[in-house]
Amino acid sequence: MRLGLSQNLRIEQRQIQSPQMIQAMQVLQYPLLELQDRIDQELQENIFLDVVEPERQAEEPSKQEDDFGDLEASFQTLEQLDERQRELGRLRTRGSAEDADAKMEALANTPGRHESLAEHLVSQLHLLELDEELKERSEMIAYSLNADGRLVSTLEELAEECECDLDEIEEALLLVQSLDPAGVGARSLDECLMLQLDRIPNSPPLARSIVEKHLENLSMNRLPKIARSTGASIEDVKDAVEFLRLNLHPHPGAPFGEVMNSAISPDIVVEEIDGRFELRVQRGGIPELRISPIYRKLLTESKKDPKVAEYLRRKIDSAKWFIDAIHQRQSTIERIATAIVEKQAEFLRKGVRYLKPLRMQEIADEVGVHISTVSRASSGKYIQTRQGIFDMKRFFGSGTETNSGEVLSQRAVQQKLQEIVDSEDKSKPLSDDAIVAQLEKEGIKIARRTATKYRKALGIPSSGQRREY
């Protein structure tokens, strides 16, 4: 075989995405908060982008100035865009003022930074009279704990890291374990629970025995086996388990890792008026944008310098594309949401049991867009209905056909499974096979493995773990 260089001619068609297309896809996929950040970034980078102030939105458009020649003609579309912005602004003056008030209220009610577990422990160490070396070793242990407050490093590793003896690191660990909350610094679950029991006066001996010797049986809900091993009655075991449940926390550091849930800003609000659903696209904190009037003066001055004129043209085109991308985003989300609401009208009126199976391809075909556009438009977007606020992707899903020919969505089947478990006899909980049989009585036929998958997705324990003695 000969090796060498050669030239070949080949004709092919290849779709290449333009910068405008890429930008439009990115803007479409942004949730409201990320879109606000992107707008702020564009405002800083492009001087031709301008925010329409609320007090200016009600003003009449100014008269057009004289023609600037051939260069001005290339920007006529900008004038139309600017005019449309002002027109939209007059219609939304009231909404913008309400958004501003809501934004100020949210800012005033923003919580302060959450204190971490390590910071909480170190603040307690600083209140104690300790020598500097012991304090430093204790702080190192505090910062070595995981989110649950558990020490995952070995004492040997910590001693090597701080270049001290094993006895000295053990002393520091005991100090950390004496701090609040009880149970921090433990190296295992049983040690964590025992540290907490040691601080409770007159804790039941049976509860201590369960923690020391029967945690595995407790996790599997094997209360009769615990009763036989300890010689206690089932009632006594149940009382001891209830004591443990009410007074001990297996994850003492968890409360310090909690993050305040951020408020969800719905992109679409759906209201039923006279039997018909009406949609309203929410702008949230998205400002009205326009091409800055300053470009006229710069445009006049740029006639003498072609390079400046070309630079201005690129910047103005970039601003126009960005504004168009935002308009296209709002329009696409509204059209897709309208199609979803039409398909899921029964769910919006009656609840989750009436949620129909729906594929993204169906919505894409109806709206006339690619399925990837539906995916981008629904990702991270929320719809507010009288049933609650839902992620747009929740309206999509597969389904199961009943014996009557009706097709139920996956979520509707899961809700029915939840209802069956809620109404079962807790002393004789239903196995997955029994749940399948109950569903089949109601005309819903699914496999046992599907029932198991749904049960786990709902966070429902197995029948053995659900049993009450």
Whether 100 is in a domain gets the answer no
Same domain, 282 and 393: yes
Whether 51 is in a domain gets the answer no
Which amino acid, 387? Q
**Cα 255 to Cα 115: distance, rounded to the nearest angstrom:** 10
Same domain, 200 and 176: no
The dihedrals phi and psi of 215, each to the nearest 5 degrees, come to -65, -40
Q: Taking residues 12-32, what's their average pLDDT? A: 77
Same domain, 325 and 382: yes
Whether 4 is in a domain gets the answer no
Q: Taking residues 300-309, what's their average pLDDT? A: 71
Q: Summarize pLDDT for 357-384 with one digit per residue, the tens.
A: 888 898 999 999 888 888 888 888 888 9
Q: Summarize pLDDT for 35-93 with one digit per residue, the tens.
A: 888 888 888 888 778 887 755 544 434 433 333 344 444 445 544 545 554 554 444 44
- Report the domain count for the chain: 4
> Which of 347, 364, 397 is the C-terminal boundary of a domain?
397
Whether residue 444 contacts residue 416, with contact meaning beta carbons closer than 8 Å, is answered with yes
Q: Give the residue, 436 or 24, on which the prediction is more confident.
A: 436
Same domain, 194 and 170: no
Q: Give the residue, 297 or 380, on which the prediction is more confident.
A: 380
* 106 has a pLDDT exceeding 70: no
Whether 108 is in a domain gets the answer no
* 107 has a pLDDT exceeding 80: no
What is the domain range of residue 218? 189-251
Same domain, 233 and 166: no
The H or E element spanning position 32 is helix 32-45
Same domain, 293 and 372: yes
Q: Summarize pLDDT for 132-145 with one digit per residue, the tens.
A: 899 989 998 998 89
Check residue 199 and give its pLDDT.
92
Q: Taking residues 146-173, what's their average pLDDT? A: 88
Same domain, 393 and 322: yes
> Which of 355, 377, 397 is the C-terminal boundary of a domain?
397
Whether 109 is in a domain gets the answer no
pLDDT confidence bin for 175, thresholds 50/70/90: very high
Same domain, 339 and 424: no
Whether residue 136 contacts residue 125, with contact meaning beta carbons closer than 8 Å, is answered with no
Check residue 248 and give its pLDDT.
92
β-sheet bridge partners, residue 272: 277
Same domain, 360 and 282: yes
Same domain, 449 and 433: yes
**Cα 448 to Cα 419: distance, rounded to the nearest angstrom:** 17
The CATH number assigned to the domain holding 156 equals: 1.10.10
The DSSP annotation for 202-259 comes to T--HHHHHHHHH-HHHHHTT-HHHHHHHHT--HHHHHHHHHHHHHH--S-TTHHHH--
Whether 20 is in a domain gets the answer no
> Which of 133, 154, 180 is the C-terminal boundary of a domain?
180
Same domain, 416 and 450: yes
Same domain, 229 and 297: no
